[in-house]
Amino acid sequence: MHEIGHYIDGARVAGTSGRFGDVMNPATGEVQARVALATPQEVDDAVARAATAQEAWAKVNPQRRARVMMKLGQLITENMDALAEAVSREHGKTLPDARGDVQRGLEVVEVCMGAPHMLKGEFTDNGGPGIDLHSMRQPLGVVAGITPFNFPAMIPLWQLAGAIVCGNAMVLKPSERVPSTALMLAELCSQAGVPDGILQVVNGDKAVVDALLDNETIQAVGFVGSTPIAQYIYARASANGKRAQCFGGAKNHMVIMPDADLDKAADALVGAGYGAAGERCMAISVAVPVGADTADRLTEKLLPRIENLKVGPYTAGEDVDYGPVITAQARERILGLIGAGVDQGAELRIDGRDFALQGYERGYFIGPSFFDRVTPDMDIYREEIFGPVLCQVRAGSYDEALQLVMDNPYGNGTAIYTADGDTARDYAHRVNVGMVGVNFPIPVPLSYHTFGGWKKSGFGDLNQYGPDAFRFYTRTKTVTSRWFSGIKDGGEFNFKAMD
Ligand code: NAD
């Protein structure tokens, strides 16, 4: 059995704990590898080595660090297909989707090439007699990154690029379900010129996370995953005096107004609802048509599109729309939620529960499901399903639709489809959600903006990537200096004389 270890001081190493997790092939249900689960001692050693390496890296000038990002970007581009294949092999998503996963991470690396500009600080000339002030951004030291299974390339890159280019060392703990891509990225970092020890990848489970949270050398923690774990990590990291940004789950709504182009809205809903088997934190999981007529017309357009979706393994070719979900447990949970939806009175217009694929009977596939007439008290509305299930909640008016979204505890992304600029503008201004799409279903901001949800989708002050990454991964020091040659007549400025 293939064994996956860690990446320490610029090289792959085997784990020493004797504990392993199974890495499944979600398409076949077979174990494809074993991943080492590190001990707290292995974590502490990795952190200590990172701290030693970071002292020298912090002194490298920002332009040289940016050049390493340039080289990394080039290497990621050259290795795009191999990285995408690693993503698909462990996650199960289609190859076009996996290439998108790598591409969106690469775009963050590209923004980090501009680090010298972002790190150059502020200066006030002559803030008082002979007095100048300057503020500089200094790296934090060693930081931790803890990432989820659903974007094995993108989210590690979001975290590691910003952390490293700012002069920090990062200890990255990828999801134990998809450990290979992070190790490949670490190798590319080394080839690009990231010094040994500046990116340590420690595989493992809760024991590794807790060791990182309690390690006194770790200065900041970036987490992306489900809301309960985000809250736990935010609380424990903060209690230990660390800077923390923790991004959680989501329930993203699309409001469809009566004047919307319903063909475009239906296409967008199918892509955003079922793409990657619904395992995206920015997936649209709730359609909210406004008015009974809009709901009926939209439903007629959705049904054939959903029925035509092609489900299969990533190896079956590029016309597959989505693959399996991540684990047998995830599949059981999603099937259970669909059953609860039926029991609680939602109208299951398309039932994906009995989906079977010849030759892949043990894989974690689920056919697309579509519920109409969902109400906010139902489990399928209250829980993040994270599967290929779209729920339709009918709203009587625009205000009712807006209120529904506002009342939802999650606030990651949302979209509105309309032909009316006034309505779109009103929605974008009033809705309490971090990322909004206008006639745009998955509004993940480009890499020079920032990414972050509100309410239970994000804990901490700063967003991920873009300008916020340079703020999160540095701390500001302000120096006030006085040089006496600037003070004429041997004395302080006479404020009284101004009166
Ligand atoms: P998860 O919370 O189960 O795991 C995320 C990470 O936390 C993994 O590295 C895992 O090993 C670790 N972890 C799991 N349980 C832990 C525990 N008890 N204590 C400490 N660490 C623990 O999430 P997942 O299933 O890998 O990813 C799916 C979730 O991530 C969804 O809820 C999705 O919405 C969310 N997500 C959010 C964003 C965002 O930016 N808001 C992006 C992607 C995914």
Nearest CA to ligand 1 atom 39: 247
pLDDT band at 499 (very low <50, low <70, confident <90, very high): low
Question: How many domains is the chain built from?
Answer: 2
Nearest to 104 by CA among 233, 254, 229, 276: 276
CATH number of the domain that residue 418 is part of: 3.40.309.10
- In a domain, residue 447? The reply is no
Strand 218-224 relative to strand 243-247: parallel, antiparallel, unpaired? Answer: parallel
3-state secondary structure of 360: coil
Nearest CA to ligand 1 atom 30: 225
pLDDT in tens, 156-184: 999 999 999 999 999 999 999 999 999 99
- In a domain, residue 460? The reply is no
As a three-state string, the secondary structure of 155-220 is HHHHHHHHHHHCCCEEEEECCCCCCHHHHHHHHHHHHHCCCCCCEEECCCCHHHHHHHHHCCCEEE
Distance CA(419)–CA(441), nearest Å, equals: 15
Nearest CA to ligand 1 atom 24: 148
Verify that 57 and 100 share a domain, yes or no. Answer: yes
What confidence score (pLDDT) does residue 484 get? 87
pLDDT in tens, 32-68: 999 999 999 999 999 999 999 999 999 999 999 999 9
Which atom of ligand 1 is the closest one to the Cα of 147?
9
146 pocket-lining for ligand 1 (C-beta < 6 Å): yes
Verify that 233 and 288 share a domain, yes or no. Answer: no
Range of the domain at 8: 2-248+466-480
pLDDT in tens, 454-475: 999 999 999 999 999 999 999 9
- pLDDT above 80 (res 492): no
- pLDDT above 80 (res 489): no
Annotated catalytic residues are 281
Nearest to 323 by CA among 335, 309, 311, 340: 311
DSSP 195: P
10 pocket-lining for ligand 1 (C-beta < 6 Å): no
CATH number of the domain that residue 205 is part of: 3.40.605.10
173 pocket-lining for ligand 1 (C-beta < 6 Å): yes
Verify that 120 and 234 share a domain, yes or no. Answer: yes
- Mean pLDDT over 123-149 rounds to 97
Verify that 141 and 235 share a domain, yes or no. Answer: yes
Nearest CA to ligand 1 atom 35: 225
Verify that 395 and 261 share a domain, yes or no. Answer: yes
198 pocket-lining for ligand 1 (C-beta < 6 Å): no
97 pocket-lining for ligand 1 (C-beta < 6 Å): no
Verify that 263 and 320 share a domain, yes or no. Answer: yes
Distance CA(243)–CA(199), nearest Å, equals: 19
User: How many Å lie between the centroid of ligand 1 and the Cα of residue 223?
Assistant: 8
What confidence score (pLDDT) does residue 485 get? 76
Verify that 410 and 306 share a domain, yes or no. Answer: yes
Verify that 172 and 301 share a domain, yes or no. Answer: no
249 pocket-lining for ligand 1 (C-beta < 6 Å): yes
- Mean pLDDT over 67-82 rounds to 98
Which atom of ligand 1 is the closest one to the Cα of 175?
9
CA contacts within 13 A on the Cβ side of 446: 3
Q: Identify which of 22, 173, 177, 229 to mutate to test ligand 1's pocket (most ligand atoms within 8 A of the CB).
A: 229
Q: Which two tokens stand for residue 306?
A: 């959903």
346 pocket-lining for ligand 1 (C-beta < 6 Å): no
User: How many Å lie between the centroid of ligand 1 and the Cα of residue 322?
Assistant: 21
